[in-house]
């Protein structure tokens, strides 16, 4: 009898320790920060900028209590976490929840499933993610080896943008006037602009100290609001081993390209002369100089433990800001670690344009081109976000009048999408809240076609909530649905990501299996394009089995007004 009780006790202890749910508290509050010779209050989590790093194991469920002690609404999104059957905790404001209002709390249940490596979290209400964001380190379950040699240390690396003015004022101005938002005043590495900017010589430059012969796993995210970035470290190559939470084939690179929303894991081998210091740098990739952008450079320092008195410094070589071949050469070099996982047969194809648009203003009174208002669209629909009830709640409770279900599966007007001198009528989109219904289990291919509307086009980093997808195709010009795709598609080992960059006047093709029931947002991760309406919502219907249906809503879901 005592022997059986002892075994029962051991089994109970094992189950408890392996099923324990980790709990965190995120207190959102305003804190003064001084950068670029001026001080302003910014939104933070727990007073930190960037925010705290969460550390989890594959398959964990964590609970994060978000306490809004700021003066504006907030929501949180767990970017790259698929949240199986649980859109209630996905976070986008008025898509899957109403906001957490000042003085209120909400407990997010964050369910990890297939994620293997680095993902991240950020606010998803207006432009609050500018300073409210942080990394999530995912580790393999006990006994599961890494597909690469275990590094000696880990380094979080967060790229961002900094405005001298209050970001709320930036948003208010460009949404009121209809023009382009003011560009940021600086780029940052882990919140530091670097010594090339005023008042940033020492304390506000990121400094990484390494030891000769050691290997460092850099877990990085591009948290910038509106910029694709090049990044490099002088004299050091990086070996990319993961992207957007999933392992990749090892890729040796002298520079990386990373779009807003994307994460990368890269191994840095400290194998250079330890008596020198080495600069790291990030600056924008930008394919259309007609559109204003921040063309500055943020600098960090890599120094060896023995190089405190080093007098020789090296700068990295970055591609030119408009080097499209360099940017997409990197993107297309990333391959999934595993082969043969992508669905060869599809049951549904959706083709959507992504465009910059214009809306005529009375008396040409707006500050966009020719006195018009700048908008953005998918399939010529500029998405209008609801303002009183979220789409998920409306879907679950069968509330009518919140959204329509007529998002087209094909562009409503076919034209030379990437041609010059487009007809003016194509510039005006339809303003609507349209979603796309998808049956559970469908094998979906989505082709996203960039257009030259609204100033010659620009790249678009497109992010899908609730899923990772295979990027099976990519090209410049117009997608040709009638051509043999075997030559331009990679169905063997395409990258498995949650954010993919549509090239300027080009296209990408992605595939995923719709096995996550719920309401899921897709949008451009350039924040200005999201604000202008380059968004759509997918509603994946419930399947037949109990594990193919949405979970019920949590009891403390923020109320709608």
Strands 499-502, 506-513: pairing kind: unpaired
Distance of CA 427 to the CA centre of its chain: 27
Q: What is the pLDDT of residue 10?
A: 40
pLDDT, residue 199, reads 86
- Indicate the pLDDT class of residue 313, thresholds 50, 70 and 90: confident
380 has pLDDT over 50: yes
The predicted pLDDT at position 491 comes to 95
Closest C-alpha to 471, from 517, 506, 518, 505: 506
* Residue of 111, 32, 2, 25 lying closest to 554 (CA atoms): 111
268-307 residue pLDDT tens = 999 999 999 999 999 999 999 899 999 999 999 999 997 6
Q: Which of 45, 38, 34, 37 is nearest to 69 (CA)?
A: 45
Task: Assess whether the previous peptide bond of 50 is cis (omega < 30° from 0).
Answer: yes
Rounded to an integer, what distance in angstroms lies between the CA atom of residue 501 and that of residue 316? Answer: 25
Give tens-digit pLDDT for 204-249. 999 999 999 999 999 999 999 999 999 999 999 999 999 999 999 9
Round to whole Å and give the CA distance between 354 and 374: 14
Alpha helices in 228-305 (DSSP H): none
- Adjacent-strand bridge partners of 221: 158, 263
511 membership: H or E segment, kind and range: strand 506-513
Q: In this predicted structure, what is the pLDDT of residue 7?
A: 46
261, pLDDT greater than 80 = yes
Whether the pLDDT of residue 348 is over 90: the answer is yes
Measure Cα distances from 527 to 227, 284, 428 in Å: 9, 15, 21
Mean pLDDT confidence for 338-357: 95
Taking residue 142's Cβ as centre, other Cβ atoms within 10 Å add up to 7
Q: For residue 497, give Cα distances in angstroms to 86, 286, 468.
A: 20, 22, 5
Q: For residues 179-205, give the mean pLDDT.
A: 93
Cα separation, 123 vs 527, in Å, equals 12
pLDDT band at 202 (very low <50, low <70, confident <90, very high): confident
Q: Which of 330, 74, 314, 108 is nearest to 222 (CA)?
A: 330
Residue 395 above 90 pLDDT? yes
Q: Give the confidence band of 13 by pLDDT, cuts at 50, 70, 90.
A: very low
Distance of alpha carbon 273 from alpha carbon 232, whole angstroms: 17
* For residue 8, pLDDT beyond 80: no
Which token pair is 129? 């993610």
Q: What is the pLDDT of residues 463-509, one digit of tens each?
A: 999 999 999 999 999 999 877 676 789 999 999 999 999 999 999 99
**Residue 169, SS3 per DSSP:** helix
> What pLDDT was estimated at residue 508?
97
Mean pLDDT of 425-449: 97
- Per-residue confidence (pLDDT) for residue 203, from 0 to 100: 81
Provide the β-strand partners of residue 348: 444
Q: Where do runs of H (alpha helix) occur along 319-387?
A: 324-333
Of 8-12, 198-202, 207-211, the one with minimum mean pLDDT is 8-12
Average pLDDT value for residue range 513-537: 98
Residue 429, φ and ψ in degrees, nearest 5? -90, 170
Whether the Cβ atoms of residue 411 and residue 418 lie closer than 8 Å to each other: no
Q: What is the mean pLDDT of the chain?
A: 94
pLDDT computed for residue 20 by the predictor:
55
Q: Roughly how many angstroms between the first and final C-alpha of the chain, as a whole number?
A: 60
**What's the Cα-to-Cα distance from 512 to each of 54, 341, 438, 468, rounded to whole Å?**
27, 11, 12, 7
Cβ 526 vs Cβ 226: under 8 Å:
yes
Q: Has residue 200 got a pLDDT over 90? A: no
Neighbouring residues of 424: CB distance < 8 A, sequence distance ≥ 6: none
Name the percent of the chain lying above pLDDT 90. 89
Q: In this structure, what token pair is assigned to residue 228?
A: 């694709």
């Amino acid at each position: 009898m005592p022997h059986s009780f002892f075994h029962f006790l051991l089994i109970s202890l094992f189950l408890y320790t392996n099923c324990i749910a980790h709990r965190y508290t995120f207190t959102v509050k305003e804190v003064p920060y001084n950068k670029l010779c001026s001080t302003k209050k910014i939104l933070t989590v727990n007073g930190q900028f960037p925010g705290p790093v969460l550390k989890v194991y594959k398959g964990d469920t964590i609970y994060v209590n978000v306490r809004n002690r700021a003066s504006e609404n907030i929501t949180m999104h767990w970017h790259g976490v698929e949240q199986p059957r649980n859109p209630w905790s996905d976070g986008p404001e008025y898509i899957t929840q109403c906001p957490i209002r000042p003085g209120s709390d909400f407990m997010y249940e964050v369910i990890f499933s297939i994620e293997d490596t680095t993902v991240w979290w950020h606010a998803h209400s207006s432009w609050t993610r500018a300073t409210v964001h942080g990394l999530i380190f995912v580790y393999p379950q006990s006994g599961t080896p890494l597909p690469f040699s275990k590094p000696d240390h880990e380094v979080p690396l967060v790229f961002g943008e900094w405005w001298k003015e209050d970001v709320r004022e930036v948003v208010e101005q460009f949404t009121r006037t209809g023009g382009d938002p003011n560009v940021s005043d600086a780029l940052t590495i882990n919140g530091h602009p670097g010594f090339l900017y005023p008042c940033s010589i020492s304390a506000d430059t990121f400094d990484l100290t390494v030891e000769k012969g050691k290997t460092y796993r850099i877990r990085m995210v591009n948290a910038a609001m509106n910029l694709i970035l090049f990044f490099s470290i002088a004299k050091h190559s990086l070996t990319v081993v993961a992207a957007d939470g999933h392992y990749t084939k090892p890729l040796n690179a002298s520079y990386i390209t990373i779009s807003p929303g994307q994460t990368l894991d890269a191994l840095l081998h400290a194998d250079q002369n330890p008596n020198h210091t080495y600069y790291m740098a990030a600056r924008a990739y930008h394919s259309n100089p007609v559109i204003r952008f921040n063309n500055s450079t943020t600098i960090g320092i890599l120094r060896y433990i023995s190089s405190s008195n080093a007098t020789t410094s090296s700068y990295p070589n970055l591609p030119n800001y408009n080097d499209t071949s360099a940017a997409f050469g990197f993107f297309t070099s990333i391959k999934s670690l595993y082969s043969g996982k992508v669905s060869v047969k599809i049951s549904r194809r959706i083709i959507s344009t992504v465009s910059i648009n214009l809306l005529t203003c009375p008396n040409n009174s707006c500050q966009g081109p020719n006195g018009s208002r700048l908008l953005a669209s998918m399939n010529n629909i500029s998405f209008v976000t609801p303002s009183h009830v979220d789409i998920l709640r409306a879907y679950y409770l069968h509330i009518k009048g919140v959204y329509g279900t007529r998002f087209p599966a094909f562009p409503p007007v076919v034209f030379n999408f990437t041609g010059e001198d487009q007809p003016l009528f194509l510039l005006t989109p339809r303003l609507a809240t349209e979603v796309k219904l998808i049956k559970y289990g469908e094998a979906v291919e989505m082709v996203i076609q960039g257009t030259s509307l609204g100033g010659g086009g620009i790249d678009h980093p497109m992010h899908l909530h609730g899923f990772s997808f295979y990027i099976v195709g990519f090209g410049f010009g117009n997608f040709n649905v009638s051509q043999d795709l075997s030559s331009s598609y990679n169905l063997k080992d395409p990258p498995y990501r949650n954010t993919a960059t549509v090239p300027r006047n080009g296209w990408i093709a992605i595939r995923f299996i719709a096995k996550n029931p719920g309401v899921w947002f897709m949008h451009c991760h350039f924040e200005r394009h999201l604000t202008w309406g380059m968004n759509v919502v997918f509603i994946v219907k419930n399947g037949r089995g109990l594990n193919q249906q949405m979970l019920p809503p949590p009891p403390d879901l923020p109320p709608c007004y």
